[in-house]
Chains A and B, each alone.
Chain A
Amino acid sequence: MIPVMCIVQEGQVSKAAERALRSEIGGFTRRAFNAPADIDWIVVPTGSGFTAARPSTTVIASLHANRDLADKERVSLLRQLADICMRQTGRSAHEVVTSIRNPS
């Protein structure tokens, strides 16, 4: 399993979009790491998320890879993951943060 943390702001992602995002992330981890995603879906309550000290619209998707990644591959995977988040949430590139960490 690939542990994935998805953080969204309350009211930002519909249930349908959440299902689609979960599904796409699952497909992504199977393609990239040959393993299903174990998604921890975290909703930041209204009035509790801030970016640059202003109300946040940021979506964060962070996962731990099951192998060490070279820079070039990591960048490609980060971009793929960001594209999935943007497509399913409708947020812009500057509202999406992705992180892929090596195994700890």
Chain B
Amino acid sequence: MPLYMCNAVSGTIPETAKPKIAADITDIHCEITGAPRGFVHAFFFEDAPQLPINGKSVFLFASLRGGRTVEQKQALVDRIKASLHRRAGVPLSEIVVDTTDVPASWVMEGGDVLPEPGEEDRWLEAHQGAIS
């Protein structure tokens, strides 16, 4: 967590752009929230029924640990949309990004419940070497 799930109309996002967008998402998320890179998952799909695109070209759904501010979430949305536009040439008007908050205590990774935002140091210490 976070989990970014990006669904696009088939052919909208070139294969070569996916690793670049994933790197952007990881950089953006970590810069804005201070989260460890190893927590950031970015998965791409095409025409996946679970993530309705609703007539647009790209729908990106982000599950975030609860506790992020409105400003942080807006910055995430704006910068990730810009990455999709820059890397894949998708018009900004064709990109929809939505976020949902999930309490950290509802998620387990590495055999332990995730830390609350800002309390990652002790968690990372206990998982040294396994999470970047």
| Interface SS of B by simple majority | mixed
Contact between A42 and B50, CB atoms less than 8 A apart: yes
Residues of A within 8 A of B3 (CB): 60, 97
B131 within 8 A of A: yes
**Which A residues, 64 to 104, have Cβ-Cβ distances below 8 Å to chain B?**
71, 74-75, 78-79, 81-82, 92-94, 96-102
In the complex, A6 Cα to B4 Cα: how many Å? 15
Evaluate contact between B132 and A52: CB separation under 8 angstroms. yes
Which residue of chain A is the closest to B15 with respect to CB atoms?
A47
Q: Which partner residue on chain B sits nearest A43 by CB separation?
A: B45
Assess whether B108 is in contact with A97, with CB atoms less than 8 Å apart: yes
Q: How far is the CA of A81 from the CA of B108 in the complex (A)?
A: 10
Q: Quick check: is B102 within 8 A (CB to CB) of the other chain? A: yes
Contact status B105-A51, CB under 8 Å: no
A99 proximity list for chain B (CB < 8 A): 1, 102, 106-108
- A33 interfacial by beta-carbon distance below 8 Å: no
**B38 part of interface (Cβ distance < 8 Å):** yes
Q: Which residues of A contact B (CB under 8 A)?
A: 5, 7, 40, 42, 44-45, 47-53, 56, 58, 60, 71, 74-75, 78-79, 81-82, 92-94, 96-102
Residues of B within 8 A of A (CB): 1, 3, 15, 18-19, 22-23, 25-27, 37-46, 48, 50, 102, 105-111, 113, 127, 130-132
For the complex with contacts A52-B26, A53-B19, A94-B111, 5 further pairs of A-B residues with Cβ separation under 8 Å are: A5-B50, A44-B43, A52-B38, A53-B23, A74-B106
Selected A-B contacts with CB under 8 Å, 10 pairs = A5-B50, A45-B46, A49-B41, A51-B38, A52-B26, A81-B108, A94-B130, A99-B107, A101-B102, A101-B106
